Structure 1
Amino acid sequence: MVSTNVQAEISFGGFTRFIFDGKQKSLMVTLDNEGDAPALVQSLLHWGDQDQVRDLPMVVNKPLLLIPAHGKASLTIFYQGVGLPSDRESFFLLSVMQVPEKPRQENNIQIALQHNLKLIFRPKLPGSLEDALEKLHWAPSPKAPPGAYLARNDSPYYLTLTEVALRDRAGNSCGEAVEHLMIAPFSSYELQVPGCSKAAGQIAYKFISDSGIAHARQIDL
């Protein structure tokens, strides 16, 4: 018999993402320990895209934190002031992992859960995130079979969409909804919905705001 002990007491005040305002030199993140025992937490910052080779122009001041039971602690992320574009947002992941205690019994497995929180660095940009969403353009993909659509983001903002679904004019769904997608600034994203191989009349999705709230939208194609 093997027992497991999962520690998942760390929370972030309800936030799942953080916006680093480019006018500031630092961003403070507060961690809450909702457990009955002190928690040792490790925090690391990564690039949000697949290119992990580039030098990181940001640093976390407290990569290790000991948070008392039912207490709070904070870490600060500093930007060196150079190394990020000024004409668009930059995307990072803040990985926070609670370091498990040493097993107190034999045949006991400790499982460490890792939180990956989105961090968006936003320099001074024209317009707003909502303006960028209004300008998001959808069109049938010219290089894919029916049922595939190209989303073009001509803005300097990252756009995060969830529950993206294709529908006909009557509102009937075609295929399975795509749970999550993120469209980078000044780029296009080819949407292919599993199980849908015909032209759609509508696209329905939820847009994630800076506060992490999902807002339902629907557009005609």
Structure 2
Amino acid sequence: MFSTTARADITFDGFTRFIFEGKQKQLPVIIVNQGNQPALVQVKLDWGDKQGTGELPMAVSKPLLLIPANSKASTDILYQGVGLPDDRESFLLLKVLQIPKKTVDSNAMAIALQHNLKLFYRPPLPGSVSAGVEQLHWSPAAAGRYRARNDSPYYLTLTEVALLDQSGVACGQAIDHLMIAPFSSYSLNVKGCDRPVSQVAYAFISDAGLSHARRSNL
């Protein structure tokens, strides 16, 4: 019989996502070790969507950190200034792996925990994320589907997306999470809704990671 140990002692100083503004040369990322033992942490970047290919034009200044117990350390995300679009946001993943300490118990197994945090590179753009959400266009599509069209240059993150019938009652199964890329559409496949729909209820996630409830007419 084996026992497993997994500890989630790493946090990010209150951040759940990171915004790299186009005017910045580098973006500091603070990693907090809340545990009573030193933590060895590996930090790396990856493309956040399937469209991303090739070598990343960003880098991490300190890809490996040894953080003392109940302390914090920082690393910087660096951008060379070219390689990402300047007319829309780019979506990347900040991957932080907490490397477990080797166990002395031969019957125990330590598990490495990886945090995948959203990182958005935002060049100077018109409008704002909240304005993009307000302009989000919802419409019926073929075969009982519905479509959300994002005409803004921002990634829009939505949670608890639910269709509402003409009485304002939820219809079908809600979608827990979706993210709509800039200048693109997203087709919603909502299961179990068999009556006319008049609104969509959802919450959008702000830059601060806070949830804001919204309703839109179809």
Q: Helix, strand or coil for the counterpart of 1:104?
A: coil
Matched ranges for 1:135-174 at <5 A: 135-141=135-141, 144-146=142-144, 148-174=145-171
Aligned counterparts of 2:51 and 2:199: Cα–Cα separation in 1: 34
Counterpart of 2:73 in structure 1 is: 73
Q: Deviations over 1:147-181 (max 9, x none)?
A: x1111111101100000001112121111110000
Asked if 1:218 corresponds to 2:212, the answer is no
Contact persistence 1:33–1:68 (CA under 8 A): yes
Counterpart of 1:22 in structure 2 is: 22
Counterpart of 2:113 in structure 1 is: 113
Q: Deviations over 1:81-101 (max 9, x none)?
A: 100111100000001010011
Aligned counterparts of 2:203 and 2:90: Cα–Cα separation in 1: 22
Shift of residue 198, structure 1, vs aligned partner: 3.8
Counterpart of 1:7 in structure 2 is: 7
Aligned counterparts of 2:211 and 2:72: Cα–Cα separation in 1: 27
Aligned counterparts of 1:19 and 1:13: Cα–Cα separation in 2: 14
Counterpart of 2:48 in structure 1 is: 48
Contact persistence 2:165–2:195 (CA under 8 A): no
Shift of residue 134, structure 1, vs aligned partner: 1.0
Q: Percent of counterpart pairs with the same letter? A: 61
Q: Structure 2 regions of 5+ residues with no counterpart?
A: none
Aligned alpha-carbon RMSD (Å): 1.0
Aligned counterparts of 1:52 and 1:190: Cα–Cα separation in 2: 21
Shift of residue 199, structure 1, vs aligned partner: 3.3
Q: Deviations over 1:3-59 (max 9, x none)?
A: 111121000112110000100111000000000000000111001002453210000
The aligned amino acid for 1:23 is K
Shift of residue 117, structure 1, vs aligned partner: 0.4
The aligned amino acid for 1:137 is H
Shift of residue 202, structure 1, vs aligned partner: 1.2
Aligned counterparts of 1:128 and 1:74: Cα–Cα separation in 2: 28
The aligned amino acid for 1:195 is G
Q: Helix, strand or coil for the counterpart of 1:50?
A: coil
Q: Report how many residues are paired.
A: 218
Aligned counterparts of 2:197 and 2:85: Cα–Cα separation in 1: 37
Q: Scaled by the length of structure 1, what TM-score is found?
A: 0.96
Counterpart of 2:189 in structure 1 is: 192
Contact persistence 2:96–2:115 (CA under 8 A): yes
